Amino acid sequence: MAASTHGPVLFRRSFKVVGSDFLNAGSVSKDIKKALKQLNVDAEVIWRALIVSYEAEMNAVLYAHECDITLEISHSGIHLVFDDRGPGIPDIALAMTEGFSTATREMRERGFGAGLGLPNIKKTSDSLEVTSTVGKGTRLDIHILFPQAQSKAA
């Protein structure tokens, strides 16, 4: 079975990212980190959630028009959804390849475009599901399990 959170949702919060809003870029992942800290979530899980949400948030800022983000917490872990309106990803397998990037020169000058964001989300989470429709948008479904849930699943 794919690693995913289950059981009743104990906490839910929504966020929004606006494409090309570099002034506020990074604020959603910071707010997610803050919320998890207030809920006394395991430090390693917070760190992983921060990495994953930062990469997804920056992709939304760089590539999408707008993005709805949902954070849900259950007994077993964290469920993050990034659902954007944007150009979509024509070849998801290619986009998941380390080093693949369509970042423009301008984006690269801002320090993005190593092509490591999506592979990093995959590595850092317990499961990542990418679905995309060209011309419509992209959705990332991400689960990060709490340590006790991971050992139970093993």
| Choice from 78, 95, 142, 149 touching ligand ATP (CB under 6 A) | 95
Q: How far is the CB of 87 from ligand ATP (least distance, A)?
A: 5
Q: How far is the CB of 28 from Mg ion (least distance, A)?
A: 14
Stretch 97-116 residues interacting with ligand ATP (CB under 6 A): 100-103, 112-116
Q: How far is the CB of 147 from ligand ATP (least distance, A)?
A: 27
| Choice from 49, 89, 128, 144 touching ligand ATP (CB under 6 A) | 89
* Cα–Cα distance measured from residue 6 to residue 77, given in angstroms and rounded to the nearest whole number: 8
| Choice from 41, 79, 117, 144 touching ligand ATP (CB under 6 A) | 117
* Cα–Cα distance measured from residue 78 to residue 64, given in angstroms and rounded to the nearest whole number: 24
| Choice from 53, 59, 74, 125 touching Mg ion (CB under 5 A) | 59
Output the 3-class SS for the chain.
CCCCCCCCCCEEEEEEEECCCCCCCCHHHHHHHHHHHHCCCCHHHHHHHHHHHHHHHHHHHHHCCEEEEEEEECCCEEEEEEEEECCCCCCHHHHCCCCCCCCCHHHHHCCCCCCCHHHHHHHHCCEEEEEEECCCEEEEEEEEECHHHHHHHC
Q: How far is the CB of 67 from ligand ATP (least distance, A)?
A: 7
Closer to ligand ATP by CB, 64 or 73: give it: 64
Q: Would you tell me which residues interact with Mg ion (CB under 5 A)?
A: 59, 117
Q: Would you tell me which residues interact with ligand ATP (CB under 6 A)?
A: 55, 59-60, 63-64, 84, 86-89, 95, 100-103, 112-119, 138
